[in-house]
Structure 1
C-alpha cells in the first residue's frame, strides 16, 4: 500500500516533461568576417537582395513567439545560373551574397535543387551587412544619407549598389542571378563588360581586375552612382553607371567606337551583344518557345552567357523536357539542378 501511494505521489508531482526545443536556424557567415575570403580576381559573385522572412507565431516547442528568420531561399533558375558558373569555373570560387541576415536550417533537408547546387565545393554562401560592407569605399558617406533605401526600386537598386562595391572590394566577375553561363570566361581579359543593345551597355556580366585599371573603373562606377543616383529610374543606377563610365573612359558616346577597342578604352574590353546577351530583351520569349529552338540555339552557339531577362520571364513556367532552348541549355549547363527541379524550371 505504501509502495502504491509512493508511486502515485511521484507520478502526480513529477516535473512535467520538457517539450523538445525547436532547432534554431544557423546564420550564414558574414563575408567580411569569414576566414575563407574571396580570392581577388579569381571569384565570381552573385547577389540576392530580396528577403524571405518566415515569422514564427507559435509559443510551444521551445520557440520564441516573435522570432523571425530570413531563411535561405533561391529559385530553381537562380540555382541553375549559380551551378552553370560553378561547373564552368572549377578553379574559381563562386560566392552567393545575401544582403539580408540569412539563415539555413541545420538538419532539415533543403529543396532538392538547392542540395544539388551545394554539391559543388566551390560554391560559397555568405551574407553581408550593407553599411559595414560599404565601409572603406568611396561611397561610404553617401550611403549614410539613406537615399538608397527610399528608392522606388529598392531591391534592384541595392543590387546595383552592391555589385559595384563588390567589384571595388575584390575584383573578379559579377553576374546577375538570371545569367546562364555557357562556357568558361577564364580566357577573357580581366576587365570587360558587354553591350546589351545597340545603344546601351549591360551590367549583368562584368569583370574588373582587383588592381590597376579594373580597380580604377570600380571606383569610377561608385562615384558615378553617387553623383547620378536616381531612385525613380529602374536602369539609371545599374546599366546607366557602366554606360556613362565607359563613355568617359573611352572618350566617346558612340557605342560602335567602343566595341572591341581596348586601346581606345584604356585596356577595358567592351563586347558586342552577341557575347553575353545573344537574345535581346524584346525576344526573351524565344528561350521558352519550342518552335524557336533552332534559331535560339544558333544565336547562343558562340556566346559565353545567355541572359534570361528575369524581369519579363520570371512568371513564365518552363516544363522540364519541353524542348525549348532554355530547357536544352539548362540540361547541359546546370545538369544537377535540372535533374532535381521536378516538373518545372
Structure 2
C-alpha cells in the first residue's frame, strides 16, 4: 500500500486536493485488504468450530465426541499416544480411511498399556444409531485403550506459550492450513502431556513399552522427521518440547509445507546438540535425547514410497524394514495409490498382521 501511495505522490504536484485524494485512496486500499484478510481468516476458522447436531432433514442426530479438556478420561502424562486428525468435515461425522484406522489400531494393539488418543481438530461425532457406524470405526471402538476426543483449538492453547500467537490468527492464513494445524497440535499436545505423537500414516511394528523417553527419528542425513516424536512430561523432555513450540511460533512460515513440522525439531536439535547433521546427534551430545537412525522409523525413504505398494518389491521392502520399530508410508505421496485387499505387497502384509481388525473390516481396497 505504501508503494502505491508514494508512486502517486511522485507523479503529481502536492496540493490540498491531492492530499485528500491520496488519503482516501490509501484508506480504500487498507479497507479492501483488511476485508479480504478478515474473510479468509473467518472461512479458515469455520473448519474448526462446532457444526450442526443433525444430518440434513433427517431426525438422526450426531453424538459429538467429548472435548479432551472436559472429559473424565484424559491423557495420562508421559503414557499416552496421540494422533491428530485436522481435515475439515462438512457433516460433523467422523471420517477415517482404512490406512488412518490401521495406524491407530497398530498403536493400540502393540501398546495395550498405553492410552491412544485420537484428537479431532474439526469437531466430529457419530450417528446416534450404532448400526450406522462405519465398520472401521467399530473395529477401533472394540479396543478399550482407544479414545476419540475433540479439540477446541482456542481453549487447548490457553495458558501455554502458544496462546497469544494463536490468537493473532497467523495460523489461519497458512497456505497449508490442515498440515500446519497438525504441526501446531503435535508440539502442543506433547508440551501439555508428554508421551508419543504419531502421524496417521505410521504403522507400529513393536511395542514402545521398553523405549526410553525423549526421542525422534532421522529420515535422512540432513533432517530429523516429525512423524514420530516422544517427549517426557517433565525434565529435559518438557524443556525440549517447550523449545519446539517457541521455535514453531517465533519462526512460523505459512508458505512452506515442512518448515513448521520436521523443520522445527531439526532446528531445535541442532541448537541443543551443537551439531548440524542427525548422524552426529548422539544421546550424549543431545542432553539425553535420542535420534534414531532412518532404519528405525523411515527405513523406506520418501522417494521410494512405492516399494510398500509393489508386490515385486516385497522381499526388498521387508528386508529394509526388518529392524524397524514402525514404518511411515508417506501418505503425501502414496495416498493416490490404491492397494487391493489380499495383495502380497509389503504394506498389505504388514497391515494384515498389525491392524487385523481394520484390515478385515475393509471392503475392496485398503
User: Cα offset for 1:254?
Assistant: 2.4
| Secondary structure, counterpart of 1:121 in structure 2 | coil
Residue 215 of structure 1 corresponds to 238
Per-residue CA deviation, residues 144-170 of structure 1 (Å, 9 max, x unaligned), is 111100000000000000100000000
RMSD, matched Cα? 1.1
Which of 36, 42, 46 pairs up with 2:79? Answer: 42
TM-score (norm 2): 0.83
Match of 1:160 in 2: 183
Question: Deviations for 1:161-202, whole angstroms, at most 9, x for unmatched residues?
Answer: 010000000000000000000111221111000001121000
1:104 aligns with 2:129: no
2:351 maps to 330
Offset at residue 94 of structure 1 (A): 0.2
**CA displacement 1:10-61 (0-9 Å, x = unmatched):** xxxxxxxxxx97121111100000011111111000000002212xxxxxxx
Aligned residue runs from structure 1 range 164-203, under 5 A: 164-203=187-226
Q: In the aligned structure 2, how far is the partner of 1:112 from the partner of 1:226?
A: 39
Q: Across the two proteins, how many residue pairs are aligned to each other?
A: 309
Give the TM-score, by structure 1 length.
0.88
Counterparts of 1:142-157 in structure 2, within 5 Å, are 142-157=165-180
What is the rounded CA distance, in whole Å, between the counterparts of 1:276 and 1:303 in structure 2?
Answer: 6
Aligned equivalent of 1:255, options 274, 278, 296: 278
The structure richer in helix per residue is 2
Cα offset for 1:315?
Answer: 1.0
Q: Which runs of 5+ in 2 are unaligned?
A: 1-56
* Conservation of the 8 A alpha-carbon contact between 2:78 and 2:194: yes
Aligned to 2:162: 139
Shift of the alpha carbon at 1:255?
2.1
State the match for 2:44 in structure 1: none
SS in 1 for 2:291: strand
Counterpart CA distance in 1 for 2:191 and 2:171 is 18
Aligned to 2:61: 24
Structure 1: 5+ residue runs without aligned partners?
1-19, 55-69
Superposed counterparts of 1:258-277, under 5 Å = 258=281, 261-277=282-298
Q: Are the counterparts in 1 of residues 278 and 291 from structure 2 also a CA contact under 8 Å?
A: no
